[in-house]
Chain A
């Protein structure tokens, strides 16, 4: 398996623009997580899905953030409009609730909002 695939690896955008981050989880995994990593706040869980259904989105900072999982092999995290304080590394991770419990991470998307 290719692992968790995120795109793009790097994104630079201007304040006010819409940003969409993409994630393809490992095939067969039924849990998908979105994390944000910053120097100040470390790794924060934003939202997670089970069988494509959002389970806990309490970590989503505000209404500018939204996440979807239309099918088992694809998820998006959207920021609209983006702000400089959204600059961070965004990780997607997936895990299986039956085979094991560790989360497998993608390589992350480094977002810079200028």
Chain B
């Protein structure tokens, strides 16, 4: 079974600083997808960034980037120049093509002004 582990229940960052959220996963598959979702207090699940496992290049979306280490089964999210609006729960997720998505337990990110 595929599992996703987020070992940091809570993280805190100073506004304008950089923070990295950790995620590891367990799988025997070679073709899969990884995602980071953000859930603000409004509870809406918002896709932040995605990574295809067959791509070696790390995905980047503006201030958000990932460090994808396939051999280590690690998928961390780096948020640069943190903003107050980045405060939210962040979920790492794993998905096989055409199958369901599995989520980690989440990391609550606090941004201090």
Contacts and interface: CB of A to CB of B under 8 A. Distances in A.
B35 interface: yes
The main secondary structure of chain A at its interface with chain B is strand
Contacts of B45: 91, 93, 105
B35 A102 contact: yes
Interface stretch (A16-24, A41-49, A74-82): A41-49
Contacts of B97: 97, 101
A96 B103 CA distance: 18
A42 B105 contact: yes
Interface of B: 33, 35, 42-45, 47, 50, 91, 95, 97-98, 100-106
Interface of A: 31, 33, 42-43, 45, 48, 50, 55-56, 89, 91, 93, 95, 97, 101-105, 107-108, 110
